[in-house]
Amino acid sequence: MKILVVDDEIVSRKKMMKILADFGTCEGVKNGKAALTVIKTALEDWKPYNLIALDVSMPDISGIEVLTIIQELEKKQGLDEEEQAKILMVTSHSDTETVKACVGKCDGYVIKPFNKEVMVEKMKKIGLIR
């Protein structure tokens, strides 16, 4: 499995990468702009990500905006639904507005602080692992 972790907080990014590294090749970037760069390259090379853990609140581009752009890029590339990345939004905000902004647009969300059990459960729920 090819995994991308996008989080401006280094501790959260490293923790998520450590957890997800057990499930595949894991790469991390610190903001939305960097995420879009590596995602575009992966799509051009026909090596799309299987899972993207995407922080909602980032200083350059919001995670929700990045989510929309990723989905547009995947469609433009001609990926069908099963080829598209599963995207888990990661947030420290459990308020209903943040959750509502994510629901229906992504495959799920994770509220910080998270642990390996939470991530395993989320990946099972979206069909990435059994």
The DSSP-derived string for 49-74 is -SEEEEES--SSS-HHHHHHHHHHHH
- For Cα atoms 14, 16, 22, give the angle at the middle one, nearest 5 degrees: 105
> What pLDDT does 105 receive?
85
Query: Domain 2-125 sits in which CATH superfamily?
Result: Response regulator (3.40.50.2300)
User: Over its length of 130 residues, how does the chain's per-residue pLDDT go in tens digits?
Assistant: 999 999 999 999 999 999 999 999 999 999 999 999 999 999 999 999 999 999 998 989 999 899 999 999 999 999 998 899 999 999 887 666 666 667 678 998 898 899 999 999 999 999 999 8
pTM: 0.93
The domains of the chain are located at 2-125
Q: How far apart are CA 104 and CA 100, in angstroms?
A: 8
Dihedral, CA of residue 65, residue 125, residue 17 and residue 38, to nearest 10: -40
